[in-house]
Structure 1
Amino acid sequence: MTRGVFNWTYKDVVAVLKEHTFQLNHIDSSHHFYVKFVNGRIFQVQVPFHGKKSFKPRTLNGMIAQSGLTRADWGL
């Protein structure tokens, strides 16, 4: 279960991205890249995949910034 910016896993982040129509673009080693096109702009989010390990808050904040979504869209 997610709580603020703590305890977010790969599955939690991907669920939010897919809910907002992001699609998997490519995989480079342990990093998955999700993209979304909005009014001619490209939003690309790099999501590290390390099993069930939780992301650090700074890493999650970086993904939030890359997505162009508000913190409310992420449920924060």
Structure 2
Amino acid sequence: MAVLKGVIITYPEWKQTDVPPVPYPPCVLAEGVEDTGVFDCCLINPYEGLRFVQAPRYLVRNVFGYPSWPFFCG
């Protein structure tokens, strides 16, 4: 079980003029784990916000941000 709660993650090197956007790994990645939670977080300018791969029983609540690519892949 892993939980990320109450953090602000920012990517200050991102520029709005970058077209297409520079791809980065997901800001939050859960792969092959169970019972993962992300609560009360703000993700500013990630390329991809959240990705859960073979991660059953995850819970995401009150997560906001401005990704360049899909915010959530689950």
**TM-score, length of structure 2 as denominator length:** 0.24
Larger radius of gyration: 2
TM-score normalised by L of structure 1: 0.23
> Quick check: which one's helix share is greater?
1
